Amino acid sequence: MTEKCGVVGISLDGRPASRPLYYGLYALQHRGQESAGIVTHDGFQQHSHVSMGLVGDAFTEGDLKDLNGSAGIGHVRYPTAGSVDSSCAQPFSVSFKSGSLGLSHNGNLVNAAEVREELAGIGHAFTSDGDTEVIAHDLARNLLDADLVRAVKRTMDRIHGSYALTISHDDTIMGVRDPQGNRPLCIGELEDGYILASESAAIDTLDGELVRDVRPGELVVLAEDGSGFDSYQLVDLDDTAHCFFEHVYFARPDSVIDDSLVYEVRRNLGRKLWAESGVESDVVMPVPDSGRAFASGYADAASETTPGGADRPEDDDGVEFAEGLMKNRYVGRTFIMPTQDERERAVRLKLNPIKSTVEGKSITLIDDSIVRGTTSNQLVSLLRDSGAAEVHMRIGAPPIVAPCYMGIDMATREELIAADKTVEEIREEIDADSLAYLSTEAVADVLATDRTDLCMGCVTGEYPYDIAGEETDRPVSRPTIEAAMSADD
Ligand code: SF4
């Protein structure tokens, strides 16, 4: 699985925004490593610098100096829709009759092709095949005969899918979250202005204070002098569809998303995992770094109760928590290895067991997910080769049975090991002594929300959006483009 994108938007009282945007993007680097970009506006003119590569490589000191203005937006990207080349790098920027527009998008539209076709039919020329340009063109067209708020509302009525956007219209910075709030976006207060960011870790990096999450369906407009923000609830649905995988996998553990600290959520998921499928073993061990918080919660719960839920006797310490797999931090992520063979080798390059922690022990290995099963199989065999007596695997999320259409590159159904295999068949394939996943109910319980307020499409095969050829888990339908165009707003 690969992360999606990170967005940021900043409006300050006179101070140049480029450097805070740059630091904000650094804090969001885990959300996208293919390209990075910043668009600023100095009150007269828009400035843009977008480059392939990591944030640290994408900007020089001179680039940051040239990005004039106290308002701007930024983006880090991992490609989820559109080509893997610079034409899809963001922020997308365009100048049109009534001003200049910059747009950073995290998420994925499921009706981009329909909107694009309609816009192309009335003369819009596209320079990329990404869905962000579709949103930008639609908004630019609406801004020709509507004020900012009405124009954004019109565009929201036409696009269907997942989006957290930061937008610059000249030196006005805005943030929008799709009506189901699939992707995260939050507001922070800085010493001399305000920030919108995918995750609160970006606000912390700038010594700011998290104000709150942008609400699903809300437009937030930052004041140009950095003094505050206005809120417009443009769409208000009964149910949300927050991506539960943000909490499980994607977001930084130190971020607060939808009012929950990600680290605590992961620890609590680990505690639930013990309650649902705890197994006595000598050692609880995380897969670094993804399984660490889950394993710590699991081991904590295991020190309090037995697998059956009874209190532990005072002389029984439960299960020992130990780091038994050491990570080589200088090896790239497995997803950049193009062939299965190379991906398998990457696990050996990346992780090395500490033999004394492993030898002769029964081990519970904790991770956040199993996608193809290749890594899990490699890890189990790594531990067995180092002398482990038993390897039990526990996963802090339900089995992934279907792909994601909302902006996460998760592999195809054919590649997902759980798409057509039972838990027992997966256990056999990864060669573990036992295997258990967390239930969907446990996830909703830990996130303290109704199941209907979460997107769990990849673990249920039923999505909260109208996706061609897939089932939905609620009454949703794509907007009819012609009808939306003629609607009187
Ligand atoms: S399908 Fe899965 S990964 Fe995609 S948005 Fe829904 S919960 Fe998140």
Write the single-letter amino acid at 205.
T
Q: What is the pTM of this model?
A: 0.92
pLDDT at residue 476 in the model = 87
Rounded to the nearest whole angstrom, what is the distance from the C-alpha of residue 461 to the centroid of ligand 1?
10
Q: Which of 56, 126, 128 minimizes the C-alpha distance to 85?
A: 128
Ligand 1 atom nearest 454 alpha carbon: 7
Percent of the chain surpassing pLDDT 90: 77
Band (pLDDT 50/70/90 cuts) for residue 334 is: very low
Question: What is the rounded CA–CA span in Å between residue 48 and residue 25?
Answer: 15
Q: Whose CA is nearest to atom 2 of ligand 1?
A: 458
* Residue-averaged pLDDT of the chain: 91
188 lines ligand 1 (CB under 6 A): no
Going by the DSSP 8-state scheme, the letter that residue 128 receives in this structure is S
Mean pLDDT calculated for residue range 448-477? 92
Q: For residues 27 and 239, what is the distance between their CA atoms, to the nearest angstrom?
A: 30
Supply the pLDDT for residue 3: 47
| Shortest-distance atom of ligand 1 to CA 182 | 5
> What pLDDT was estimated at residue 444?
93
Asked if residue 104 has pLDDT above 80, the reply is yes
Which amino acid residue places its CA nearest to atom 5 of ligand 1?
243
Confirm or reject: Cβ of 404 under 6 Å from ligand 1.
yes
Asked if pLDDT for residue 335 goes beyond 90, the answer is no
Whether residue 88 lies in the annotated active site: no
The secondary structure of residue 451, as a DSSP letter, is G
- pLDDT > 80? residue 488: no
Q: What is the DSSP string of 312-325?
A: PPTT----EE---E
pLDDT at 137 over 50: yes
| Separation of CA 20 and ligand 1 centre (Å) | 30
pLDDT at 1 over 60: no
Check if the beta carbon of residue 391 is closer than 8 Å to that of residue 361: no
Write the pLDDT tens digit of every residue in 293-313: 999 999 999 999 998 889 998
Centroid of ligand 1 to alpha carbon of 371 (angstroms):
13
Position of tokens 């998921």?
Answer: 269
CA distance 145 to 63: 35
Report the distance separating Cα 103 and Cα 232, nearest Å: 19
Question: In this predicted model, what pLDDT tens digit does every residue of 23-55 receive, in sequence order?
Answer: 999 999 999 988 999 999 999 999 999 999 999
In the predicted structure, residue 326 carries a pLDDT above the cut 60:
yes
Q: Residues 45, 18: contact at Cβ < 8 Å? A: no
Kindly calculate the radius of gyration of the chain based on its CA atoms and give it in whole angstroms.
23
